């Protein structure tokens, strides 16, 4: 059996909040409990949204929390580079392989045009309306005519039928990608690889054996599995942990008092108390516990994580920064 290899892949487009930190903690625990390697990969493909200096800040805050990694942009390693923006040649090669196999085709539709297409039901939130196949069967002459005035995106030609996989948290999952999403974008019109393609190529190249991530990405898994098959790559196992929400059931936001990890640190929060809160939310420690991540490794298993949203009360966040009595 190959050595366990897990990863966390933050995007330097916004600060690290408690929900992200909890996912990082659980992915780290899965790797350490398995005696495996933990990889840090920065997903910085969305250039205009990447904020200067945020990568270093995120890594520093994860270390403050008590996490470490064996490979990453700041420590190097055999599977680098560890910034997605520096891995573009691999992404381009994967697209070329799909094109050569007839599994990717140029699409000249804008998002607005897809949305305006007749009977275009809304697909997964990250994909937008279901693509109706407008450009799927264009002739070579029509492709050339349209390409003269508009750069195309490239879409994956989705085969019919369900995609079935076993998730370590949610159990058996079934998605009909063609019905739910239709042919999906693998490279944007500006040449930047879409998340679905980049994450498949990079996880495979880095030998990741299990992906632990938030369950907002659960719908992406079926699309990614189709790409693994098309590219002849071995997929990892998947574990989608529930998101942390506010008391109103919505994803954490400023209105919930959702301070970033950096803000908590700046306001005097204790790292052990923050980790204790994340562990308590995950059923790994009692309420009010103060623990280091290493204290949670023994006996950790993803099956202990319940497949339901985790509610974070505003009062719990405020207690982290409240002055402690002597």
CA-to-CA dists, residue 112 to 33, 115, 128, 131, 155, angstroms: 47, 5, 10, 11, 16
* Given the residues 254, 303, 308, 324, the one annotated as active site: 254
**Burial class (CB within 10 angstroms; exposed 0-12, middle 13-18, buried 19+) of 15:** middle
3-state secondary structure of 270: coil
CB 207 within 8 A of CB 2: yes
How crowded is residue 142: how many other Cβ atoms within 10 Å of its Cβ? Answer: 12
Active site residue 304: no
For residues 21 and 261, the answer to whether their CB atoms sit within 8 Å is yes
Structural contact between residues 238 and 290, judged by C-beta atoms closer than 8 angstroms: no
Report, as residue numbers or ranges, the catalytic residues.
254
């Amino acid at each position: 059996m190959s050595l366990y290899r897990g990863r966390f892949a933050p995007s330097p487009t916004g600060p690290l909040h408690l929900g992200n930190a909890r996912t990082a903690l659980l992915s780290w625990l899965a790797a350490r409990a398995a005696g495996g390697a933990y990889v840090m990969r920065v997903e910085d493909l969305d250039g205009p949204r990447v904020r200067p200096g945020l990568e270093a800040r995120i890594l520093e805050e994860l270390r403050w929390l008590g996490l470490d990694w064996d490979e990453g942009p700041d420590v190097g390693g055999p599977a680098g580079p560890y910034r997605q923006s520096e891995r573009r040649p691999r992404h381009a090669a994967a697209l070329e392989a799909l094109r050569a196999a007839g599994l990717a085709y140029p699409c000249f539709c804008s998002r607005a045009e897809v949305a305006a297409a007749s009977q275009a039901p809304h697909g997964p939130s990250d994909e937008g309306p279901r693509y109706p196949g407008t450009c799927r069967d264009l002739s070579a002459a029509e492709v050339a005519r349209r390409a003269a005035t508009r750069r195309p995106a490239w879409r994956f030609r989705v085969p019919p039928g369900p995609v079935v996989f076993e998730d370590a948290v949610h159990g058996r999952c079934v998605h009909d990608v063609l019905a739910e999403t239709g042919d999906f974008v693998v490279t944007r019109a500006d040449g930047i690889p879409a998340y679905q393609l980049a994450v498949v190529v990079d996880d495979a190249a880095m030998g990741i054996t299990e992906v632990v991530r938030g369950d907002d990405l659960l719908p992406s898994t079926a699309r990614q599995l189709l790409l693994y098959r098309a590219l002849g790559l071995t997929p990892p196992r998947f574990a989608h942990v529930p998101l942390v929400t506010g008391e109103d059931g919505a994803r954490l936001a400023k209105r919930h008092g959702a301070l970033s990890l950096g803000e908590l640190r700046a306001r005097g929060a204790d790292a052990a108390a923050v980790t204790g809160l994340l562990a308590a939310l995950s059923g790994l420690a009692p309420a009010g516990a103060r623990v280091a991540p290493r204290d949670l490794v023994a006996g950790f298993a993803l099956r202990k994580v319940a497949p339901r949203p985790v509610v974070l009360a505003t009062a719990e966040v405020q207690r982290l920064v409240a002055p402690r009595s002597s």
